[in-house]
């Protein structure tokens, strides 16, 4: 499980670097998730991440950090199934309207969180 947690951390680091260097990639990524079927896939993936984080936390260096990410993923997964298409699209549209500087800042945050996950695992 620790290997999967680290792998997720690496994926988040890579995404953070991509969004930092190419902010338009985040807007393409957000636009990809606007379809209802894809939102449901995102919800399933979030619930899967939650299970992996929560089951793997006991084997990690900083278990409490991984538990927090697991709970966060669980909440995200549940919200993706319960909020409804209109609300989720409004939220995604809000992100699509953010300036490039905010998108780059989000890339830095993703990079930092990915590094935290890797270190904690």
**pLDDT for 5-45, tens place per residue?**
999 999 999 999 999 999 889 888 888 888 878 888 999 99
Q: Could you report the per-residue pLDDT of 104-121, keeping only the tens digit for each?
A: 999 999 999 999 999 999
Please choose, from the candidates 109, 102, 79, 104, the residue with its C-alpha nearest in 3D space to the C-alpha of residue 91: 79
Please answer whether residues 50 and 68 qualify as being in contact, where contact means their C-beta atoms are separated by less than 8 angstroms: no
Q: Could you report the per-residue pLDDT of 47-96, keeping only the tens digit for each?
A: 999 999 999 999 999 999 999 999 999 999 999 999 988 898 898 889 88
pTM: 0.87
The per-residue pLDDT for 1 is 84
């Amino acid at each position: 499980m620790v290997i999967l947690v680290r792998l997720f951390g690496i994926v988040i680091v890579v995404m953070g670097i991509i969004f930092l260097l190419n902010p338009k990639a985040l807007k393409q990524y957000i636009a990809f998730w606007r379809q209802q079927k894809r939102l449901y896939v995102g919800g399933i993936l979030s619930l899967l991440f939650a299970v992996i984080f929560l089951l793997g936390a006991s084997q990690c260096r900083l278990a409490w950090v991984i538990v927090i990410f697991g709970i966060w993923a669980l909440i995200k997964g549940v919200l993706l199934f319960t909020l409804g298409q209109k609300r989720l699209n409004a939220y995604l549209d809000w992100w699509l309207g953010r300036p490039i500087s905010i998108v780059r800042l989000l890339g830095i945050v993703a990079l930092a969180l990915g590094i935290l996950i890797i270190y904690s695992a």
